[in-house]
Structure 1
Amino acid sequence: MVTTTTVAETSDPAAAPTPHVLLVPYPARGHMQPLLHLASRLAAAGLRLTVVATTSTLHLLSPLLAEHPSSVSPLTFPSFENDTSGPTSVGVDIHALAALREPLGEWVRARYGGDGRVVAVLSDFFCGWTQPLAAEAGVPRLVFAPRARHGCYALPLPPHAEAAPPTADAAAAGCEYAVEFPGLPGTPAFPWRQLSRMYRSYVEGHGGVHGEAIKNNFLWNLESSAFVCNTSRALEGRYLDAQPLEDLAGKRVWAVGPVAPELTTVEPSGEVTRWLDAFPDASVAYVSFGSMMALPPPHAASLAAALEKSNTPFVWAASTATLPEGFEERTAASETGMVIRGWAPQTAVLRHPAVGCFVTHCGWNSVVEAAAAGVPMLAWPMAADQFFNARLVVDEARVGAPVSFGGFGHVPDADELAGVLGEVIGEAGSEMRARAKELAARMAEAARGDGSSRRDLDGMLKKSKVATENGPQGR
């Protein structure tokens, strides 16, 4: 809990440009990084930004602060701390983060009527509690969604609330209960087990106090002015062109992705780049299941066996995953594999010519980064919106192949996994790689010049400025 409203600001607000926008990230690295990339673009467009951080995430702001020292300021609450860096309950985190609402509201109110007044709030979709804060200040709140436009259907929103879970008899019989989404183009259907745990808990009514926090979070999101997604019409044109859709209460979705720069110089990629330089083009598999999930040991063992059976060189961002005994030592000794513990320079790895495929859980950041790099994906979704994303990659964009859609409950056979690797790596995957390169070119075009993502970013800025300059300001 927050025990004090004292805050620390570490730059000179008088030197920063206006208008002034408050950014509130969800303090997990996979959520913060894309919002900070977007923040860099907003600062370059002439906005003054204040970015809320915790003591454990403040270091992530360093590149942004170095790039825009006069227009970006961090805002920390020293007495607040909540660790979202590893596997955790999102419901618990949403509940805990809402404790910042009052002290942050005091900070906003203290700036009413002055040059430093906040004219808009841009916050992560797990920070729905910022909506009443923005409403009290009389300014618009934009919801930043570091996920697919169509993936918002994986969340517990009112249009889905009447869906019923499978009966106990059906579940015991192993029956797949399909939930249809008629509001999406094509009316896709997903098995009950492939919907997010947050959504299932909400519908099943056993979320407890944290379930109520989740419900309120997304109801507040629906009251916002608009949604800002790290996506592109090159990836999701059919969903973006069909808006407004009922799942987001008819609100506008600004597709501004990919928000990450095409090349990055801040990631410590030297060692892995040198290692990859020794391999031919499209011959190495990159493996990562994100920063918030550890691949279960049986799944990791099957993948490790598949890599060895197929003799596929690999870079594995293993984070805290438990790998089979002796696996790291064997592959290091043979120089056929590199295991990275901790944070991996994913953007740099995916853009290296030696990388021929990406074994991924299909978290949205990973999908966008792989698509922007032109790398085919081996889709292995586990939870949340990942099944939605995997279908987009495999069935619609056709830049990926399925590994398993069984989630945590299914361990793929190592021989089958080795076969899938063989279908995508090297010459065998040339057609898929050509489609992936074409998609990457279209995404790059969307983000440049007069491309669709650039137009959406400009439109978002124009719309927000009009709303804040002509609308009410504080009380």
Structure 2
Amino acid sequence: MVEVEQTKQPPHILLVPYPAQGHMLALLDLAHLLSLRSLSLTIVVTPANLHLLTPLLSKSPSIQTLSLPFPSNHGNPPGSENSKGRPPDSFGTLMQEITGLHDPLLSWIQSQSQQPITAIISDFFHGWTQALAEKLGIPRIVFSPSGVLGSAVLHSLFRRMPQRPDPSDDEYVLSFPAIPNSPSYAWRKLSMLYRTYKEGNPVSEAVKQNFLFNLNSWGIVTNTFKALEAAYLDHPLEDLGFKRVWAVGPLAPSDGVQDRGGSNTVSSADLATWLDKFSEGSVLYVSFGSQAILGPAQAAVLAAALEKSGVQFIWAMSESTVIPEGFAERMANRGIVIKGWAPQVAILRNRAVGWFLTHCGWNSILEATAAGVSMLTWPITADQYVNAKLIVEDAGTAVSAWEGYAVPDEDVLVRVITEAVGQRWNAIREQSKKMQRMAEEAVMEGGSSCKDLEELVQEFWKMKAR
């Protein structure tokens, strides 16, 4: 690597996170790593999201924040400035609303004569910042909170605009021949952002333009690592505009087990005490993330399957999830039900936890991978079907359990859960431990992700020197 002479004033990087938990936390983890490398950082945030930066600012006090008023709520309750509490199909509306930050952000950047912005790193839902960067004559780097495969599939859809012959055929299989291994997915498994696209609709057209803007960026930095997605990192991908991709993951809290995003109804210490009663790998952790909420019928079948299987478990769920009356009390000796935020990283890193029943959100996958925990997949929406296929077929660290919002077959869930905690899939457990070691090596000095991060930092110095 060619070292760039570093002047006294470091590059000043503007970070624009998308206001959704799964997007924001990973970018904040990247911000921490960049701050350790003596870059000057400013993070754009709206007032109702400012509290989410508190953990980062407490450990990286040199990072500055720029709080700008949220542009519009379009009838949403005051303070609804992120995806939490909004329906899953409102992502497009939120993406459109937040483009209103363009003008105030442009004015602020133009006022920074003492410490001019060197480059912008913004979430891939902030394609509008590409036009902002071009107007300012500075590079913009896309931050992908998804894996490389998930990001390539999503951008391919809006780049190629594929259609199904029969508009009612949700099982129509769409292939992606420009992506290595030519992955294919049923129509219903594609991103809702694309499936709900309507030509001429202002929100739909804004979403489409968002992803097309990303293809004009300087490059892409993503929360993944070489060993997990080698096939998609070996060469620039056509469906990502042949852009340079820096794989810097798995990104994680600096202390490894930090609780983020909310207050826990059960403390990490109490959970650790409870988990320590069980043998290694014997506990199943269940969580569907901060966005997906199981319906009462789905939750009832899952509860029955957990009860019938006889396994020890921790089930973290949304406060609005409805479970059968008396279930938590009946399971008190071998299960814990957490309503609200759970310390997921700490749970997964406990030796007693061997399997994770997950919706396959990318952050959850990386946290399980970094902990060496095998997964049972139950994808529901967004990039989750792509992620599930990746870890089942490519990585070999997961087994399919169920999918979608359909009410599951209780017998199927009982069988999958019982076999997972039993001995049938020991090879998958071994592969999960192997992938854990490769994840650890990736972020160590000399590892693939560490090298990519250092190369990214050097690019910023080169940008500043131009």
TM-score (norm 2): 0.90
Q: Distance in 1 between matches of 2:60 and 2:184?
A: 45
Change (3 A) 1:288 1:331: same
1:27 Cα deviation after fit: 1.1
1:109 Cα deviation after fit: 0.7
Q: Distance in 1 between matches of 2:210 and 2:254?
A: 33
Name 2:263's counterpart in structure 1. Answer: none
**Are residue 239 (structure 1) and residue 240 (structure 2) matched?**
no
Are the equivalent residues in 1 in contact too, given 2:152–2:237 (CA < 8 A)?
A: no
Name 2:163's counterpart in structure 1. Answer: 164
Change (3 A) 1:449 1:212: same
1:440 counterpart letter in structure 2: Q
1:393 counterpart letter in structure 2: I
Name 2:433's counterpart in structure 1. Answer: 437
Q: Distance in 1 between matches of 2:148 and 2:173?
A: 21
Are the equivalent residues in 2 in contact too, given 1:180–1:190 (CA < 8 A)?
A: yes
1:357 counterpart letter in structure 2: W
Q: Distance in 2 between matches of 1:449 and 1:104?
A: 36
What do the CA deviations read for 1:363-420 (whole angstroms, capped 9, x no partner)? 1111111111100000111111111110111111111110124x12x32211110110
Name 1:446's counterpart in structure 2. Answer: 442
Change (3 A) 1:280 1:207: farther
Change (3 A) 1:327 1:217: same
1:299 Cα deviation after fit: 1.8
Change (3 A) 1:401 1:19: same
1:426 Cα deviation after fit: 4.2
What do the CA deviations read for 1:144-187 (whole angstroms, capped 9, x no partner)? 1011101113425467534112414x62xx7x211110011111
Name 1:151's counterpart in structure 2. Answer: 150
Larger CA deviation: 187-196 vs 291-300: 291-300
Are the equivalent residues in 2 in contact too, given 1:142–1:224 (CA < 8 A)?
A: yes
Q: How many residues align?
A: 441
5 Å-filtered alignment, 1:51-450, equals 51-69=43-61, 71-78=62-69, 80=71, 81=79, 82-88=81-87, 89-111=90-112, 113-114=113-114, 116-157=115-156, 160-168=159-167, 171=169, 176-202=171-197, 205=198, 208-241=201-234, 243-261=235-253, 263-267=255-259, 269-319=268-318, 320-332=320-332, 335-405=333-403, 407-408=404-405, 410-450=406-446
TM-score (norm 1): 0.89
1:188 counterpart letter in structure 2: P
Are the equivalent residues in 2 in contact too, given 1:154–1:196 (CA < 8 A)?
A: no
SS at match of 1:427: coil
SS at match of 1:118: coil
What do the CA deviations read for 1:12-69 (whole angstroms, capped 9, x no partner)? xxxx962211111011111111111110000000111111122222122112211121
Are the equivalent residues in 1 in contact too, given 2:158–2:212 (CA < 8 A)?
A: no
Sequence identity of aligned pairs in percent? Answer: 46
Q: Which runs of 5+ in 2 are unaligned?
A: 1-7, 72-78, 260-266
What do the CA deviations read for 1:431-454 (whole angstroms, capped 9, x no partner)? 211110000001110110101101
1:348 counterpart letter in structure 2: A
Change (3 A) 1:132 1:273: same
Change (3 A) 1:393 1:262: farther
Are the equivalent residues in 1 in contact too, given 2:13–2:39 (CA < 8 A)?
A: yes
2:369 counterpart letter in structure 1: A
What do the CA deviations read for 1:285-307 (whole angstroms, capped 9, x no partner)? 11111101212222211111110
2:105 counterpart letter in structure 1: L
1:266 Cα deviation after fit: 3.2
SS at match of 1:235: coil
Name 1:11's counterpart in structure 2. Answer: none
What do the CA deviations read for 1:87-145 (whole angstroms, capped 9, x no partner)? 4311011011111111111110101x42x111111111111111111112211111110
What do the CA deviations read for 1:251-303 (whole angstroms, capped 9, x no partner)? 11110000114743532522222221222111111111110121222221111
> RMSD over aligned Cα, in angstroms?
1.9
Q: Distance in 1 between matches of 2:201 and 2:339?
A: 35
Are the equivalent residues in 2 in contact too, given 1:156–1:198 (CA < 8 A)?
A: no
Name 1:10's counterpart in structure 2. Answer: none
1:95 counterpart letter in structure 2: Q
2:344 counterpart letter in structure 1: Q
Q: Distance in 2 between matches of 1:321 and 1:52?
A: 33
1:98 counterpart letter in structure 2: T
Q: Which runs of 5+ in 1 are unaligned?
A: 1-15, 471-475
Q: Distance in 2 between matches of 1:52 and 1:160?
A: 28
Change (3 A) 1:151 1:158: closer
1:325 Cα deviation after fit: 2.3
Q: Distance in 2 between matches of 1:160 and 1:327?
A: 47
Are the equivalent residues in 2 in contact too, given 1:282–1:426 (CA < 8 A)?
A: no
Q: Distance in 1 between matches of 2:193 and 2:257?
A: 36
2:102 counterpart letter in structure 1: R
Q: Distance in 2 between matches of 1:262 and 1:52?
A: 21
Q: Distance in 1 between matches of 2:200 and 2:371?
A: 39
